[in-house]
Amino acid sequence: MSNQFAIQESLARLGLKSKNPGTSTGIKSIDSDGDYFSSYSPADGSLIGEVQTTDSDSYERVITLAQLAFEQWRKVPAPQRGEIVREIGNALREKKTDLGKLVSYEMGKSYQEGLGEVQEMIDICDFAVGLSRQLYGLTMHSERPGHRMYEQWHALGLVGIISAFNFPVAVWSWNAALAWVCGDVCVWKPSEKAPLSAIACQLIASEVFARHGMPEGICSLVNGDYKVGEMMSRDTRIPLISATGSTRMGKIVAQTVGARLGRSLLELGGNNAIIITENADLDMAIRGALFGAVGTAGQRCTSTRRLIIHENVFEEVKSRLASAYGKLVIGNPLDEMNHVGPLIDKEAVGMYLAAIQKVEAEGGKAVVEGAVLEGVGYESGCYVKPAIYEAENHFEIVQHETFAPILYLIQYKSLEEAIALQNGVPQGLSSAIMTTNMREAEAFLAVSGSDCGIANVNIGTSGAEIGGAFGGEKETGGGRESGSDAWKAYMRRQTNTINYSSTLPLAQGIKFTI
Per-residue pLDDT in tens (0 to 9) along the chain, 514 residues: 456 667 989 999 999 999 999 999 998 899 999 999 999 999 999 999 999 999 999 999 999 999 999 999 999 999 999 999 999 999 999 999 999 999 999 999 999 999 999 999 999 999 999 999 999 999 999 999 999 999 999 999 999 999 999 999 999 999 999 999 999 999 999 999 999 999 999 999 999 999 999 999 999 999 999 999 999 999 999 999 999 999 999 999 999 999 999 999 999 999 999 999 999 999 999 999 999 999 999 999 999 999 999 999 999 999 999 999 999 999 999 999 999 999 999 999 999 999 999 999 999 999 999 999 999 999 999 999 999 999 999 999 999 999 999 999 999 999 999 999 999 999 999 999 999 999 999 999 999 999 999 999 999 999 789 999 999 999 999 999 998 999 999 999 999 999 999 999 999 999 998 8
206, 26 contact by CB (below 8 A) = yes
Q: 125, 301, 382, 452: which is the annotated catalytic residue?
A: 301
Alpha-carbon distance of 170 to 190, in angstroms, equals 11
Fold of 272-457: Aldehyde Dehydrogenase; Chain A, domain 2 (3.40.309)
Sequence-distant (6+) residues with CB within 8 A of 140 are 149, 150, 151
Q: Which of 106, 117, 267, 481 is catalytic?
A: 267
**Dihedrals phi, psi of 283, to nearest 5 degrees:** -60, -45
Q: Is 120 a catalytic residue?
A: no
For Cα atoms 18, 23, 26, give the angle at the middle one, nearest 5 degrees.
100
125 flagged as catalytic = no
pTM for the whole thing?
A: 0.97
Q: How far apart are CA 379 and CA 344, in angstroms?
A: 14
Report pLDDT for 23.
97
- CATH number 3.40.605.10 is the correct assignment for the domain at 3-268+477-493: yes
Looking at residue 1, what is its pLDDT? Answer: 43
> Phi, psi at residue 23, to the nearest 5°?
-130, 130
DSSP type of residue 462: S
In the chain, what's the furthest Cα-to-Cα distance? Answer: 92
Angle at 446 between CA 441 and CA 451, to 5 degrees: 105
- Ranges for all domains in the chain classified under CATH 3.40.605.10: 3-268+477-493
Interatomic CA distance for residues 414 and 312, integer angstroms: 11
Question: What beta strand segments (E) does 90-169 contain?
Answer: 139-141, 147-155, 158-162
Count CB neighbours of 96 within 10 A.
17
Predicted pLDDT at 90: 98
CATH 3.40.309.10 location in the chain: 272-457
